[in-house]
Amino acid sequence: MLPRQLLRTATAGESGRHGIHPGHFLRVCFRSTCTLSMLVNVLWPVVPAAIALHFARPDLHVWIFSLNYIAMVPAANLLGFAGSELAKKLPRVLGILLETTLTSLVEIVLFMLLLHNDQDGSLIPVIQAAILGSILANLLLCLGLCLFCGGLRRNEQTFHEAVSEVGCGLLLVAGFGLLIPSAFSAALRNNNSDDSESISADVLAADTLTISRSTAVILLIAFLMYLFFNLHSHHSIFDDVLRFDETQDEDGERELQRAKLTMPECLLAIIIALAAVCMCAIFLVEEIDSIVALGVSDNFIGLILVPLVEKAAEHLTAIDEAWDNQINFALFHCLGPSIQTALLNAPLAVIVGWAIDKKMDLDFDLFMIVLLVLSILVVGNFLRDGKSNYLEGGQCVLVYVIIAVTTWYYP
């Protein structure tokens, strides 16, 4: 959302080399941005194995699912790393747009694949669950781990008030807009059981679909306003905040001396990562039916499994930043993607579904809506005072565990 490149001088992104040097390229990509990301790169051998298995033994459904699930993590990690390297070399506005796109890319690819593979409407609930699950994982798990890990190393973490105010206020209003169609549908379905003269289920579904599509269009307008605000009007506030963080980075020296990629290397890395992400995602989505047949509920896949893998790379980066006392960066990497999921990815899924004539609506399950609103309120309450400690983070993570356990039983 708010890329580091803003804060660097023009030369900071320079590698001092030209063209593609295979040895350098591999070394820089492997080291990635931080220690946790580097550890993730150990998983790269799984990527070819997962792809190969899909073609060699298409009958091993669970194995294909598991391997591709794991393979998504290093591929998404490389995509994020190469994207941020490229963004540093571009003009400011282009750089922000690139990072914004890349942040949402894996999620959008997954939503599109789920939409495309959906035959009889059975994958629509998975997409809906994945929208909410992505926000839940960002807020409770990732942000909770950031506060917890960051809090373990120091008595109290303080962060800039603007981060939490802007982040949580916007997230709450985005969540509010997102759930209006569900409130409409739930209220009418409830009334239905009372009086017989009420509208039929078909009319209700059609109305909900129309409302969802209108809502999606309005949410996209809200996202454009948000993007315009970030690009043009108020970057100065954020810049101050993040520049301050930069100076706090306990890994700071290492970061400046870190070897960089050249422009062609960036593009090469993005192409490789994108190809790997797409293939793994395709094979993963194809196996969902077999996993559901095994007894794992589609809600669990949507609310817990999909968000965990699609965001894993970002989560690890955020936790590493929190550990290095760059708590404002870490919070941005939790709150920003959540806002983008609500204002960009979810509406896009609805609108693409509209275009290809799928009945993708925003009629979320009541249970998940309640979890979403409460999560936003809880996190907002914790962030509001601009301080955090490991207790606050730990409680968020424990609540996420309760949610995961409960969803396991949700049919």
Of residues 342 through 401, those in contact with a copy of itself by CB under 8 A are: 365-367, 370-371, 373-375, 377-378, 380-382, 384-385, 387, 389-392, 394-396, 398-399, 401
Give the shortest CB-172-to-a copy of itself separation in angstroms.
5
**How crowded is residue 87: how many other Cβ atoms within 10 Å of its Cβ?**
24
Residues 327-341 as b or e (16 or more Cβ within 10 Å = b): bbbbbbbbbbbbbbb
Does 41 contact a copy of itself by CB under 8 A?
Answer: no
> Token pair for residue 345?
């990815």
Does 293 contact a copy of itself by CB under 8 A?
Answer: no
Q: What backbone phi and psi angles, to 5 degrees, belong to 33?
A: -85, -30
Residues 91-111 as b or e (16 or more Cβ within 10 Å = b): eeeebbebbbebbbbbbbbbb
List binders of a copy of itself among 215-234 (CB under 8 A). 215, 218-219, 221-222, 225-226, 229, 233-234
Q: In 121-200, which residue ranges form alpha helices assigned H by DSSP?
A: 124-136, 143-153, 161-192
CA 57 and chain centroid, separation: 31
For residue 158, the cross-strand partners are: 387
Q: Which of 93, 199, 259, 356 binds a copy of itself (CB under 8 A)?
A: 199
Which lies closer to a copy of itself via its Cβ, residue 282 or residue 378? Answer: 378
Rounded to whole angstroms, how far apart are CA atoms 123 and 125?
Answer: 6
Does 214 contact a copy of itself by CB under 8 A?
Answer: yes
Which lies closer to a copy of itself via its Cβ, residue 269 or residue 346? Answer: 346
Give the shortest CB-205-to-a copy of itself separation in angstroms.
12
Which lies closer to a copy of itself via its Cβ, residue 134 or residue 215? Answer: 215
Give the shortest CB-240-to-a copy of itself separation in angstroms.
13
Query: By 3-state DSSP, what share of the chain in percent is helix, strand and coil, each rounded to 5?
Result: 80, 0, 20
Q: Which of 176, 240, 243, 254 binds a copy of itself (CB under 8 A)?
A: 176
Total residues at the site for a copy of itself (CB under 8 A)? 72
Which lies closer to a copy of itself via its Cβ, residue 30 or residue 176? Answer: 176
Which lies closer to a copy of itself via its Cβ, residue 248 or residue 381? Answer: 381
Rounded to whole angstroms, how far apart are CA atoms 268 and 275?
Answer: 11
List binders of a copy of itself among 145-174 (CB under 8 A). 155, 161, 165, 168-170, 172-174
Which lies closer to a copy of itself via its Cβ, residue 13 or residue 307? Answer: 307
Which lies closer to a copy of itself via its Cβ, residue 125 or residue 353? Answer: 125
Strands (E), 105-150: none
State the Cα angle at 162 between 160 and 164, rounded to 5°. Answer: 85
Compose the 322-341 pattern: x for residues touching a copy of itself by CB under 8 A, - for all others: --------------------
CA 312 and chain centroid, separation: 8
List binders of a copy of itself among 233-272 (CB under 8 A). 233-234
Does 298 contact a copy of itself by CB under 8 A?
Answer: no
- Going by the DSSP 8-state scheme, the letter that residue 305 receives in this structure is I
Which lies closer to a copy of itself via its Cβ, residue 294 or residue 370? Answer: 370
340, 103 in Cβ contact below 8 A? yes
Give the shortest CB-141-to-a copy of itself separation in angstroms.
14
Which lies closer to a copy of itself via its Cβ, residue 177 or residue 337? Answer: 177
Does 136 contact a copy of itself by CB under 8 A?
Answer: no
User: Among all chains, which residue has been given the structure tokens 């409302």?
Assistant: 211
Rounded to whole angstroms, how far apart are CA atoms 365 and 159?
Answer: 34
